[in-house]
Structure 1
Amino acid sequence: MTVVDQKTDRERAYAPDRFCKFRAVARSRDGAAAIEFALLAIPYFLVIFAILETFIAFAAEELVSNAVDTMSRRMRTGQITYNLGRTTDMSRTQFRQAFCNEISILISCSTSEAATPSKLYLDVQTFGSFSAIPTTIPKVSSDRYADINTAAFKYTPGGAGTINMLRAYYRWEIITDLVRPYITTIRPSDGSMPTQYLIIATSAFQNEQYP
């Protein structure tokens, strides 16, 4: 057998293997999963972040509501008083700090925040009757997404037997862009990107006839 014949025989012997490799490469989908993940990763993680963002915002809302209930109960029972010359008296700053302590598990208030509000606003007032308590949110304009008007906010709780209202407002920052257009309740008038979800909690009560 000549050298040419031997070479041809070897080529015939290895030809099926080469064709099998070509077919395997053609059928290979090793990179398909990576490409599909790259295409779906961004919307997938956006949805996950949106779920987490919404959950945390609603958890913060419940936390503020519980703090309003707790502080209202303390005022109602005389554990917190105002301008009565007692050891239970709390100034506006002390009351705000006590409220911050109630929400500190999720929302932190700095010393400057307790003294001068920038995110947490508390409105504590006494009224002659329950019907005199406001039922609307004070805003700077009639626009649905207008900012709150803090000019009329006070800290003037009454004594024993008085009718009082405690209302808390907190500006919760929304981080995920996907969620902002749907749950933000304060939107800038200049049309810039909204970032804040306004948490509101209210309690109306009549103080007990504590001594």
Structure 2
Amino acid sequence: MLRRFGRNRRGSAAVEFALVAPVFFALLFAIIETGLMFFASQILETVAQESARQIMTGQSQAAGNTAATFITNVVCNQSQPVLNCNSIGVDVESDPSQFSNLNIAYPVTNGSFDPTKLKFNPGGSCSVVTLTLYYPWQMFVTGLGYNISNLKGNIRLLSATAAFRNEPYAGACST
């Protein structure tokens, strides 16, 4: 009877599947989540480049945009399907002449995203400007040693930056 039990293979596939399935599904969901995060990051990069164009050409300054109106009128129009517009943070720093004089804020306080550290100063004609968009992306698959979040609450702070010099929309540049 013991030999017969040892040769019987009818339930071995179910047992093997039960042992391998949790690891397989965890890996599958981790790959899907990482892919979605990179997709959202690429959308944020594209939105940053398109939004920077509005500042570089002076359209945002001519419209008198504040940080809130810039997010609503420029950033949200490009990011609606994937990114929650209410969660996007915009930091715009400018200097009249040099990139080295820019102090870009790091909007993290005690492991949480802090949008109060963000500024909105698009500068004028020929100014040097950096535009950085921040988006807190919620991570779900954080078990089994796979946790790429960098903030509290399993959140990954995505960022996209564009550095440029504004066009001479108000006259020729001196440098």
TM interval, shorter chain, is 0.7 to 0.9
User: Could you tell me whether the CA contact under 8 Å between 1:50 and 1:179 is conserved in 2?
Assistant: no
Q: Where does 1:54-65 land on structure 2 (aligned, <5 Å)?
A: 54-65=34-45
Which of residues 55, 60, 69 is equivalent to 1:75? 55
Q: Which residue of 1 aligns with 2:89?
A: 121
* Distance in structure 1 (CA, Å) of the matches to 2:43 and 2:144: 21
Residue 132 of structure 1: CA displacement? 1.1
Q: Which residue of 1 aligns with 2:173?
A: none
Alpha-carbon distance, 1:177 to partner = 2.3
Instruction: State how 1:190-201 maps to structure 2 within 5 Å.
Output: 194-201=153-160
The alignment yields a C-alpha RMSD, in angstroms, of: 2.6
CA deviation after TM superposition for structure 1 residue 138, in Å: 4.5
Question: How far apart are residue 150 of structure 1 and its match?
Answer: 3.4
Q: TM-score, normalised by structure 1?
A: 0.68
The one-letter amino acid of 2:93's match is: Q
**Pair 200,180 (structure 1): closer, same or farther in 2 beyond 3 Å:** farther
Distance 2:141 2:113 in 1: 23
Q: Displaced runs of 4+ in structure 1, greater than 4 A?
A: none
Provide the rounded CA distance (Å) in 2 between the counterparts of 1:163 and 1:195. Answer: 35
Match 1:108 to one of 65, 78, 84: 84
68 and 179 in structure 1: CA distance in 2 versus 1, 3 angstrom threshold? farther
Matches within 5 A, 1:25-44: 27-44=7-24
* CA pair 201-179 structure 1, distance change in 2 beyond 3 A: farther
Work out the percentage of aligned pairs sharing the same amino acid. 29
